């Protein structure tokens, strides 16, 4: 079986203005939503109380909310998750109370509704932990981008490809942020991990295309760069699609079967993988071309290793 | 012609065999078990373990197996009711000797266990339990050290008859106090003061300056000394927390430093956080002080202030207020042990101090025989209150005098407090021990996962893993036919290898970790796809099948290496920055990249060469 039985020859470079525009629109929408609505940060980042409670019968969300407010909890957010018997509760940090006290009061309030209610999970995060995590997540993102920029510049001998890769890859987390901002899905620490993984994977594709560009330049130094870039993308297209289809299979399995804990994580991965595939096909090489990439920049200094030296 | 060196075949075979061996313990699952440990930390002997086992049989509790592991007895049961019954029976029968903890024991066969092979430990999100993150007030550790220097300086200057205006702790070029400042009046002899201070301020950088009125000597702690002091405080807190956690009877607890000034405590299986924090959260220090016998405490209480040089304590265990001298003889961090014991007058508490405190105790008791000495327990906790709409973090100190007794003899670092009832002695010893936690720490994060939720998480993770893998396997087999099946075998080998590495590292598996394994399966396909697409390209060009395979591996290599390294960079950064389950994910992601490079480059090459190698003529490839 093959997705493309013949070698494709889509004119990616000639149409790049269209793709730039599409990306720009998506990024503007994402950023606008991010800066106006923000993302629904979980207590991982804000600090606060998060609990999961299991009732023996279907729980009435409004009743739970009223009871909690009656027990003196401020702004309790109550919603069903998983099944009608499972309730998730989120509350802003209440530093005057210890986790132990919160648990006792929570249990007292809930057993009033259902004597057999069980607190399956209770997280209490102090506000300082949350704000630190926000900072270290930013640093993690920053270091990843810098290190990858340097690596690509080193391996491909030109900042043009490096910049193309980084600009294209910035586009992916922005779209993921936009998705989380528009849907207001809970944004937790696992989503940050997913975003970093997405950056890794998206670059993975970009690098495979770049590798082909390097190879094609080596053989046809006289060919115009846009032709070489188009050929490279087309030649790796079937691999790019194939790999992403397979990765999406496992991510979809995670999304639907992994349970609520992994929901945000897998959603971020899925969006990121789609965005990443798009950006590495349509954007990264096109940017390198607009930065004036020619064969001269990627001249082959790497001598092909002999067959027997391969692992 | 398609060939592969013999040593490479051997390497692939050896690695895979070893991997299967290391991954094997994970397939047996776990049974409920009871962990029995001697309270005095001596190893449990074989005879003692037989005695426990026959005692349980007498009580009609069916023991599945029992064995000694690292000096502890593990008793395995077929079901949870048996486990709980056994715990109650052992706790009742052997209350003085053993401490028990509910646990899970892997069903790993004896042979594998003696080889040291164990399954991956499960993280708290999969097994249920309590996670606590404590913040250690390292600033207090430094202040305490400075206070000690200031006190020594005062004493030395008084001994040398040098007039002193003031001895304080100050901040020099830093936000927190890091120096001791001695202010001298104009008539004081600076040189005499300096030489008197050489010994008490040894190690500090001392500078002299002249002021409008007199002069000042400032001794500054170097950054290295501050760091040392902070590290010591964290280490001491970790030790104390470990001891307290051991008292809880939890199996496989983790107490470890996190970052500069935090300690994380992981208690698998613990559900009742109130009970735990009662014991762990008692963050306290002790002070041994002389009682002020010249003044009347009741009078001071009425006046609302203490006489000069004394401090009034209204909160005492014996119900009456006391006045204590300001000078501290010894502190909790100098207490090395406090145990209950016996004296001629009944129950007693035996106290041991370190050498420095012993010296100071000797001096004090020699000069104050038959006077009274008290022990103050100081507990610190964090409280946040709203001041003008802003949240203010405030430290609240509760001070309680837990004992006062007459000094009946001259002693140094080894003495007894007597005249207590049996219950009182035990309580006092416990309070004293808990007071040896010198530096305040307070919980800033708490996460509790119920056991059923943990079970759920495992089930969901494993289902997603199986379905995801099945989907990938099927897809690869359809898309690449025979080559797809080869890729499937390689992917399976990759999961085995990854499991083996994680088991070897004893990295605990969390739900994000399972997600990492699933993702690795998805991503490991990539290397195979790169190679196969190359092979297809070569075949399209009309190259012979074997040469196509060769060229496929050759040409795909640089793309595989470069693309994996970029993902590796993201994984490593996450490893460095992440904590808890996120680090678990990063570990799996990073290792998964390494194992998938190995299996898809070497494993699949070996397999394909075995299938299509040699001089045979092959008309076409099933790809």
Nearest beta carbon to residue A144 from set B512, B550, B573: B573
E strand or H helix at A200: helix A189-219
pLDDT tens, residue by residue, A214-230: 888 887 778 888 898 99
Per-residue pLDDT of A87-122, as tens digits, reads 888 888 776 666 667 777 888 888 778 877 888 888
Whether B522 and A137 lie within 8 Å, measured CB to CB: no
The confidence score (pLDDT) of residue B595 equals 93
Would strands A83-91 and A40-41 be described as parallel, antiparallel, or unpaired? unpaired
Residue ranges of chain A that CATH labels 3.30.70.3400: 48-125
**In the predicted structure, residue B275 carries a pLDDT above the cut 70:** no
| Least Cα separation, residue A197 to chain B (angstroms) | 6
Q: State in words which class domain A48-125 has.
A: alpha beta
Mean pLDDT of the B252-278 span: 78
pLDDT reported for residue A261: 82
Domains defined along chain B, listed by start: 6-24+450-612 (1.20.1640.10), 30-106 (3.30.70.260), 139-226 (3.30.70), 283-445 (3.30.1360.200)
Check pLDDT > 80 for residue B439: no
Long-range contacts of B109-113 (CB under 8 A, 24+ apart): B109/B28, B110/B67, B112/B24, B112/B25, B113/B25, B113/B67, B113/B69
How close is the nearest chain B Cα to the Cα of A268, in Å? 13
Q: Do B453 and A148 touch (CB under 8 A)?
A: no
* The pair of three-digit structure tokens given for residue B538, joined into one six-digit string: 């070569």
- Which H or E run includes A34? helix A16-36
Q: Which of B448, B533, B566 sits opposite A204 (nearest CB)?
A: B566
Contacts of B134 (CB under 8 A, 6+ apart): B237, B241, B262, B263, B264, B265, B441, B442, B443, B444
**What is residue B279's predicted lDDT score, i.e. its pLDDT?**
64
Asked whether the beta carbons of B589 and B596 are under 8 A apart, the reply is no
CB pair distance less than 8 Å for A262 and B512: yes
Q: What is the pLDDT of residues B13-31, one digit of tens each?
A: 999 999 999 998 888 887 8
DSSP state of A303: P
Whether the per-residue pLDDT at A5 is higher than 70: the answer is no
Residues in B closer than 8 angstroms to A7, CB to CB, are 540
Q: Report the C-alpha dihedral over residues B111, B113, B118, B119, rounded to 10 degrees.
A: 60
The H helix count followed by the E strand count for chain A is 10, 6
The yes-or-no verdict on residue B499 having pLDDT over 80 is yes
- What pLDDT does residue A36 have? 95
Place of tokens 């145990």: B339
Res. B571: pLDDT tops 80: yes
Q: How confident is the model at residue B436 (pLDDT cuts 50, 70, 90)?
A: low
Residue in A74, A161, A196 to test binding to B, most B beta-carbons within 10 Å = A196
Note whether B577 and A140 are within 8 A (CB): yes
Inter-chain residue contact B443 with A215, CB threshold 8 Å: no
Average the pLDDT over each of B53-57, B435-439, B487-491 and give the range with the smallest value.
B435-439
Q: Which of A129, A152, A204 sits opposite B526 (nearest CB)?
A: A204
Contact B464 A254 (CB under 8 A): yes
The pLDDT, as a whole number, for residue B473 is 93
* Residue A52 reports pLDDT greater than 70: yes
Mean pLDDT for chain A overall: 84
pLDDT at B269 over 70: yes
Work out the average pLDDT over A267-295.
90
Q: Which residue of A has its CA nearest to B562?
A: A207
User: Per residue in A203-231, is it b (16+ CB within 10 Å) or e — as a string?
Assistant: bbbbbbbbbbbbbbbeeeeeeebbebbbb
Residue extent(s) of CATH 1.20.1640.10 domains in chain A: 16-41+129-307
**Residue B490 token pair:** 């390689």
Residues pairing with B405 in the sheet: B373
Contacts of B469 in chain A (CB under 8 A): 250
A258 touching chain B per CB within 8 A: yes
What stretches of B167-287 show up as alpha helix (H) in DSSP? 190-198, 223-248, 273-280
- CA–CA distance from B114 to each of A289, B67, B70, B105, B108 (Å)? 62, 11, 11, 14, 10
- Pick from A120, A122, A137: which is nearest to B452 by CB? A120
**pLDDT score at B393:** 58
Tell me which of B264, B279, B577 to substitute to probe the interface with A (most A C-beta atoms closer than 10 Å): B577
Q: Which of residues 177-236 of A touch B (CB under 8 A)?
A: 189-190, 192-193, 196-197, 199-201, 203-205, 207-208, 210-212, 215, 235-236
Q: Dihedral sign, CA of A125, A130, A133, A134?
A: positive
- Tell me the chain A residues in contact with residue B540 when contact means C-beta distances shorter than 8 Å: 7
B564–A204 CB contact, under 8 Å? yes
Query: For residue A99, what pLDDT is reported?
Result: 65
Nearest residue on chain B to A94, judged by CA atoms? B384
Chain B partners of A257 at a C-beta cutoff of 8 Å? Answer: 460, 463-464, 467
For A119-181, the DSSP string reads: EEEEEEE-HHHHHHHHHHHHHHHHHHHHHHHHHHHHHHS-HHHHHHHHHHHHHHHHHHHHHHH
Token reading at B492: 């399976």
- Interface probe for B, chosen from A257, A266, A268, A303 (most Cβ of B below 10 Å), is A257
For residue B467, what are its two tokens? 């379905």
CB spacing of A215 vs B452 below 8 angstroms:
no
| Average pLDDT, integer, range B217-241 | 81
- The model's confidence at residue A271, banded by pLDDT at 50, 70 and 90, is very high
Interface residue A243 vs chain B (CB under 8 A):
yes
Read off the pLDDT of residues B362-389 as tens digits, 9 standing for 90 and up: 999 999 988 899 988 886 655 555 566 5
What whole-number distance in Å separates Cα of residue B420 and Cα of residue B347?
6
**How far away is chain A from the Cα of B406, in angstroms, using its nearest Cα?**
39
In this prediction the pTM is: 0.74
- pLDDT of residue B193 exceeding 70, the answer is yes
B221 half-sphere exposure, CB direction, 13 A CA radius: 28
Say whether B444 and A136 touch across the interface (CB within 8 A). no
What are the backbone angles phi and psi of residue B400, rounded to the nearest 5°? -140, 135
Closest-approach residue (CA) in chain B for A47: B445
Q: B110: exposed, middle or buried (C-beta count within 10 Å: 0-12, 13-18, 19+)?
A: exposed
Instruction: Establish how many alpha carbons lie within 13 A of residue B206's alpha carbon, considering only the half-sphere containing its beta carbon.
Output: 20
Instruction: For residue B601, give every residue at least 6 positions away whose Cβ sits within 8 Å of its Cβ, in sequence order, or none.
Output: A310, A311, B527, B553, B557, B560
Q: Which of B418, B589, B540, B165 has the alpha carbon at shortest distance from A196?
A: B589
Q: How confident is the model at residue A4 (pLDDT cuts 50, 70, 90)?
A: low
Q: Is A266 on the interface with B (CB under 8 A)?
A: yes
pLDDT interval class at A181 (50, 70, 90): very high
More confident residue, A309 or B355: B355
Residue B299 pLDDT exceeds 70 = yes
Q: Rounded to 10 degrees, what is the CA torsion of B97, B103, B104, B110? A: -20
Of B456, B563, B597, B606, which to mutate for an interface test with A (greatest number of A Cβ within 10 Å)?
Answer: B563
Q: Are B263 and B134 in contact (CB under 8 A)?
A: yes
Q: Do B456 and A144 touch (CB under 8 A)?
A: no
Unique residue bearing structure tokens 């729980």: A59
Chain B contact for A112 (CB, 8 A cutoff):
no
Contacts of B458 in chain A (CB under 8 A): none
A310: pLDDT strictly greater than 60: no
Tell me what pLDDT residue A221 has: 79
pLDDT for B278 equals 61
Residues B566, A151: C-beta atoms closer than 8 Å: yes
Residue in this structure with the two tokens 């490839």, named with its chain if needed: B621
Cβ of B525 within 8 Å of Cβ of A140? The answer is no
pLDDT score recorded for residue A96: 66
Q: Identify all chain B residues contacting A152, using CB atoms and an 8 Å cutoff.
A: 566
Asked if the model's pLDDT at residue B221 lies above 90, the reply is no
Please tell me the distance from the alpha carbon of residue B457 to that of residue A190, in angstroms, as a whole number.
15
Backbone φ and ψ of A236, nearest 5°: -95, 0
Q: Considering the domain A16-41+129-307, what is its CATH architecture? A: Up-down Bundle (1.20)
Mean pLDDT of all residues in chain B? 83
Q: How far is A30 from chain B (nearest CA, A)?
A: 23
Query: What mean pLDDT comes out for the span A203-207?
Result: 85
Contact B569 A245 (CB under 8 A): no
The residue that leads in pLDDT, B578 or A282, is A282
Residue A27 pLDDT > 80 = yes
């Amino acid at each position: 079986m093959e997705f493309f039985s013949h070698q494709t020859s889509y004119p990616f470079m000639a149409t790049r203005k269209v793709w730039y525009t599409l990306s720009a629109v998506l990024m503007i929408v994402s950023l606008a939503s991010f800066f106006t609505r923000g993302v629904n940060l979980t207590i991982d980042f804000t600090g606060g109380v998060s609990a999961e409670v299991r009732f023996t019968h279907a729980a009435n969300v409004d009743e739970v909310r009223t009871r909690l407010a009656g027990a003196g909890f401020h702004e309790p957010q109550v919603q069903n998750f998983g099944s009608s018997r499972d309730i998730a509760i989120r509350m802003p940090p209440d530093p005057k109370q210890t986790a132990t006290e919160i648990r006792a009061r929570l249990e007292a309030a809930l057993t009033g509704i259902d004597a057999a209610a069980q607190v399956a999970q209770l997280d209490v995060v102090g506000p300082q932990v949350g704000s630190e995590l926000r900072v270290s997540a930013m640093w993690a993102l920053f270091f990843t981008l810098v290190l990858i920029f340097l690596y690509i510049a080193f391996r491909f001998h030109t900042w043009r490809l490096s910049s193309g890769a980084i600009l294209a890859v910035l586009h992916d987390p922005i779209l993921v942020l936009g998705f989380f901002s528009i849907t207001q899905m809970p944004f937790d620490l696992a989503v940050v991990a997913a975003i970093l993984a997405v950056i890794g994977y998206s670059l993975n594709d970009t690098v495979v295309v770049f590798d082909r560009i390097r190879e094609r330049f080596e053989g046809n130094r006289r060919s115009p760069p846009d032709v070489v870039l188009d050929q490279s993308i087309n030649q790796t297209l079937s691999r790019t699609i194939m790999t992403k289809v397979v990765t999406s299979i496992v991510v979809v399995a995670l999304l639907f079967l992994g349970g609520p804990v992994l929901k945000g994580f897998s959603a971020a991965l899925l969006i990121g993988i789609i965005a990443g595939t798009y950006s590495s096909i349509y954007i990264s090489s096109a940017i390198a071309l607009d930065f004036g990439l020619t064969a001269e920049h990627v001249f082959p200094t790497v001598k092909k290793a002999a067959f027997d030296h391969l692992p | 012609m398609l060939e592969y060196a013999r040593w490479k075949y051997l390497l692939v075979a050896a690695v895979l065999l070893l991997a299967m061996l290391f991954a094997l313990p994970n397939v047996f699952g776990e049974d409920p078990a009871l962990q029995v440990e001697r309270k005095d930390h001596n190893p449990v002997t074989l005879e003692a373990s037989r005695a426990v086992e026959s005692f349980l049989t007498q009580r009609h509790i069916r023991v599945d197996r029992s064995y000694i592991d690292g000096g502890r007895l593990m008793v395995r049961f077929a079901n949870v009711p048996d486990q709980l019954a056994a715990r109650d029976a052992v706790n009742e029968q052997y209350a003085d000797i053993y401490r028990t903890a509910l646990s899970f024991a892997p069903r790993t066969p004896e042979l594998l266990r003696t080889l040291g092979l164990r399954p991956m430990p499960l993280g708290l999100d999969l097994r249920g339990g309590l996670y606590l993150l404590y913040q250690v007030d390292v600033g207090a550790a430094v202040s305490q050290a400075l206070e000690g220097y200031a006190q020594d300086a005062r004493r030395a200057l008084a001994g040398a008859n040098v007039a002193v205006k003031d001895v304080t702790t100050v901040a020099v070029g830093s936000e927190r106090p890091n120096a001791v400042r001695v202010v001298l009046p104009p008539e004081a002899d600076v040189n005499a003061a300096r030489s008197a201070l050489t010994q008490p301020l040894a190690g500090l950088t001392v500078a002299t300056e002249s002021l409008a009125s007199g002069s000042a000597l400032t001794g500054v702690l170097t950054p290295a000394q501050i760091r040392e002091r902070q590290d010591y405080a964290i280490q001491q807190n970790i030790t104390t927390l470990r001891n307290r956690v051991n008292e809880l009877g939890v199996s496989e607890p983790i107490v470890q430093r996190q970052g500069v000034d935090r300690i994380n405590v992981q208690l698998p299986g613990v559900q009742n956080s109130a009970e735990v924090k009662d014991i762990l959260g008692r963050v306290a220090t002790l002070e041994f002080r002389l009682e002020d016998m010249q003044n009347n405490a009741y009078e001071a209480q009425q006046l609302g202030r203490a006489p000069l040089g004394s401090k009034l304590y209204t909160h005492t265990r014996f119900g009456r207020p006391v006045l204590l001298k300001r000078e501290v003889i010894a502190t909790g961090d100098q207490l090395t042990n406090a145990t209950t014991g016996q004296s001629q007058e009944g129950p007693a508490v035996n106290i041991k101090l370190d050498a420095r405190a012993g010296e100071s105790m000797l001096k004090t008791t020699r000069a104050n025989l038959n006077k009274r000495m008290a022990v103050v327990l100081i507990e610190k906790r964090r409280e946040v209150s709203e001041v003008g709409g802003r949240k203010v973090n405030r430290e609240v100190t509760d001070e309680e005098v837990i004992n006062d007794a007459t000094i009946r003899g001259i002693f140094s670092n080894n003495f007894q407090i007597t005249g207590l009832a049996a219950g009182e002695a035990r309580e006092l010893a416990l309070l004293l021990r808990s007071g040896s936690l010198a530096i305040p720490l307070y919980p800033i994060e708490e996460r509790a996962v119920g056991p059923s939720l943990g079970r759920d998480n495992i089930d969901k993770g494993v289902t997603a893993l199986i379905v995801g893998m099945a989907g990938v396997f099927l897809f690869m087999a359809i898309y690449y036919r025979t080559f797809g099946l080869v890729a499937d075998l390689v992917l399976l080998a990759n999961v085995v290898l990854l499991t083996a590495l994680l088991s070897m590292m004893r990295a605990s598996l969390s739900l994000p970790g399972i997600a990492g394994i699933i993702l690795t399966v998805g991503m490991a396909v990539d290397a195979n796809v790169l190679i196969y697409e190359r092979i297809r390209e070569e075949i399209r060009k009309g190259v012979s099948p074997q040469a196509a395979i060769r060229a496929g591996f050759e040409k795909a290599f640089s793309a595989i290496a470069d693309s994996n390294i970029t993902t590796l960079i993201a994984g490593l950064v996450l490893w460095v920055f992440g904590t808890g389950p996120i680090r678990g994910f990063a570990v799996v992601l990073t290792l998964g990249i390494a194992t998938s490079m190995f299996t898809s480059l070497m494993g699949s090459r070996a397999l394909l060469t075995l299938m299509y190698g040699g001089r045979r003529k092959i008309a076409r490839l099933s790809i």
